[in-house]
């Protein structure tokens, strides 16, 4: 008497006779002898697997929680079923062990910023080692690297401190720049005022020098008639004033008495 067993697409059947592996059958309808034989079905399709909440320690003794996802498929059904009591668990331990070694060589900051490199190193590390279990890891990816709560709190405090420090530095630089601009403006105003005052002083000096120069030119070009006219005007002014005494040398008296106007003035002053 024969039994019938349908093996689905992308699966294989392992035929066991009296508990011992005897042959492998492919997808389709397969015959076996009940009681004496059993067909164990093995899935060959790619299978996703998530490893969550796995704790690792970095080089600087920081605890990090990791979440790893991977895809694998069975490459050798016989090895997968008979050469390891739990090939999937063995593969998981292999992945975790290599991940622990890789992250353990990195500081926390390096680990958090190097997930792509960790993925590549992990894929290289496990390589074909899982073939021992009849499994091939097609893809492995670090989905999350999360520091412990205490480390996260410390990092947040550090970030806040850095931000406050940066803000304080920016404010100090702004204040210093403002003072620099204000001081520069005051200096420029002082310099401009000094230049203006100097220019005004020079202008006044030039005007005074010009006035003296013109007066000297005028005096140098004047003849005796001009000075005589000025003296006559002076005597005329004296005649109308309350002055009754004029001190003059004898030569001047004789000189000015020859001039009718001055003689008249002198006579008036004598009468007084």
Report the candidate in 251, 84, 65 with the shortest Cα–Cα distance to residue 143: 65
Confidence bin at 25 (pLDDT 50/70/90): very high
Long-range contacts of 5-8 (CB under 8 A, 24+ apart): 5/29, 5/30, 5/31, 5/32, 5/39, 6/30, 7/39, 7/41, 8/41
Q: How far apart are CA 9 and CA 70, in angstroms?
A: 23
CB 15 within 8 A of CB 39: yes
Q: Is the pLDDT of residue 212 over 70?
A: yes
Query: For residue 270, what pLDDT is reported?
Result: 54
Domain-by-domain residue ranges, the chain?
3-43, 47-147, 166-221, 222-271
pLDDT, residue 266, reads 53
The CATH superfamily assigned to 47-147 is Band 7 domain (3.30.479.30)
- pLDDT for the residue 190: 82
Query: From residue 29, how far is each of 5, 9, 69, 134 by CA, in Å?
Result: 6, 11, 35, 25
pLDDT score for 168: 79
Maximum CA pair distance of the chain? 185
Q: What is the CB neighbour count within 10 angstroms for residue 64?
A: 20
pLDDT digits (tens, 9 = 90+) for 45-74: 999 999 877 788 888 888 888 889 999 999
Q: Give the residue with greater pLDDT, 39 vs 213.
A: 39
Report pLDDT digits (tens) over 97-112: 888 999 888 888 888 8
| Residue 157 to residue 165: CA distance in whole angstroms | 12
Q: Which residue has the higher pLDDT, 159 or 20?
A: 20
Comparing 168 with 272, the larger pLDDT belongs to 168
Measured CA to CA, the distance from residue 207 to residue 185 in angstroms comes to: 32
Number of Cβ within 10 Å of residue 98's Cβ equals: 19
pLDDT at 231: 64
pLDDT at 219: 64
**Lowest pLDDT segment from 12-26, 62-76, 145-159:** 145-159
Which of 68-72, 131-135, 150-154 shows the lowest mean pLDDT across its residues?
150-154
């Amino acid at each position: 008497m024969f039994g019938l067993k349908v093996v689905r697409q992308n699966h294989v059947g392992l035929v066991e006779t009296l508990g011992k592996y005897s042959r492998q059958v492919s997808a389709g309808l397969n015959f076996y002898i009940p009681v004496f034989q059993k067909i164990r079905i093995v899935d060959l399709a790619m299978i996703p697997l998530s490893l969550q909440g796995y704790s690792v320690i970095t080089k600087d003794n920081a605890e990090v929680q990791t979440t790893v996802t991977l895809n694998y498929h069975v490459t050798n059904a016989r090895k997968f079923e008979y050469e390891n009591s739990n090939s999937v668990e063995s593969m998981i331990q292999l992945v975790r062990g290599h991940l622990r070694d890789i992250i353990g060589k990195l500081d926390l900051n390096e680990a958090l910023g190097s997930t792509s490199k960790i993925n590549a190193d992990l894929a290289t590390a496990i390589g074909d080692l899982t073939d021992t279990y009849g499994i091939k890891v097609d893809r492995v990816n670090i989905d999350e690297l999360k520091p412990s709560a205490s480390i996260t709190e410390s990092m947040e405090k550090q970030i806040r401190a850095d931000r406050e420090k940066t803000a304080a530095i920016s404010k100090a630089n702004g204040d210093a720049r403002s003072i620099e601009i204000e001081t520069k403006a005051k200096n420029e105003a002082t310099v401009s005022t000094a230049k203006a005052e100097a220019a005004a002083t020079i202008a006044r000096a030039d005007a005074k020098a010009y006035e003296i120069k013109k007066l000297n030119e005028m005096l140098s070009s004047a003849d005796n008639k001009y000075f005589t006219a000025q003296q006559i005007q002076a005597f005329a002014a004296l005649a109308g004033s309350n002055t009754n005494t004029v001190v003059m040398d004898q030569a001047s008296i004789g000189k000015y008495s020859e001039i009718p106007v001055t003689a008249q003035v002198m006579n008036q002053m004598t009468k007084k």
